[in-house]
Amino acid sequence: DASPPAEAKAEEAGENKEATKKKAPPPQADVVIDVSKLDIRVGVITKAWEHEEADKLFCEEIDLGEEGGPRQIASGLKAHYGVDDLMGRKVLVLANLKKRKLVGFPSHGMVMCAVNEDGSKVVFVNPPEDAEIGERVMVDGFDGEPATENQILKKKMLDKIFPDLKTDEDGVATYKGVPMTAGSGKCMAQDGLANAEIS
């Protein structure tokens, strides 16, 4: 009988199993999703106009200090501001969002605003006066690198991060109670809008 003994077969099978185990890729560590995944930058609105077809939208060109020039971004702020209120204003822009069309207008980013509980008041979150154009907004203790535009979308990161973005009782923009900072100070909701959601 030329067939190997049963013990040898069992041993060989065991080795094959071990080899298979070794070849399996290690499980990926869960990506920690927090505010550091957002690339929030200080920008200045250099041009603003009313969207021709959308009642609620302004179209803006916002300089983030990027080589490609200002970004075009649409914001649903017409019920709360006039065009003149936007021109030359420093704002916070969530920059690592995929470009998408809003009523036909290609919008690449989101202007960060504070919104009260019933949505009747929407105000800009303002960077400190000395914050530089293109500077990244930081939150102490959350120092990771921003996610890519695709990761933000695929992992639905905004759904997980935005609920913890709020203003405190003094109108300071915070993540999990920790202030959002740029320049030499804290980012603040206009008019000190307190206990508001930020989005």
Q: Letter for the amino acid at 40?
A: I
> How large is the average pLDDT for residues 59-87?
97
Question: Quick check: is 6 in a domain?
Answer: no
Question: Quick check: is 27 in a domain?
Answer: no
Question: Quick check: is 107 in a domain?
Answer: yes
Q: Find the range with the poorest average confidence among 7-11, 118-122, 189-193.
A: 7-11
Q: pLDDT at residue 7 above 80?
A: no
Q: What does the pLDDT read at residue 11?
A: 54
Question: Quick check: is 24 in a domain?
Answer: no
Question: Quick check: is 7 in a domain?
Answer: no
Question: Quick check: is 30 in a domain?
Answer: no
The CATH code of the domain that includes 99 is 2.40.50.140
Q: pLDDT at residue 30 above 60?
A: yes
Q: pLDDT at residue 58 above 70?
A: yes
Question: Quick check: is 5 in a domain?
Answer: no
The radius of gyration of the chain from alpha carbons, rounded to an integer in Å, stands at 24
Residue 99 belongs to domain spanning: 35-198
Q: What does the pLDDT read at residue 81?
A: 97
Number of structural domains in the chain:
1
Which residues share a beta bridge with 198? 114
d(CA 34, CA 148): 14
| Buried b / exposed e along 127-155 (16+ C-beta atoms within 10 A) | bbeebeeebebbbeebeeebbeeeebeee
What's the pLDDT tens digit per position in 148-168? 999 999 999 999 999 999 999
Tell me the two tokens of residue 94: 């969530």
Q: pLDDT at residue 9 above 60?
A: no
User: Across all residues in the chain, what is the average pLDDT?
Assistant: 90
What's the pLDDT tens digit per position in 100-138? 999 999 999 999 999 999 999 999 999 999 999 999 999
Q: What does the pLDDT read at residue 3?
A: 54
Question: Quick check: is 45 in a domain?
Answer: yes
Q: pLDDT at residue 21 above 90?
A: no
CB 109 within 8 A of CB 95: yes
pLDDT class of 31 with cuts at 50, 70, 90:
confident
> How large is the average pLDDT for residues 44-66?
96
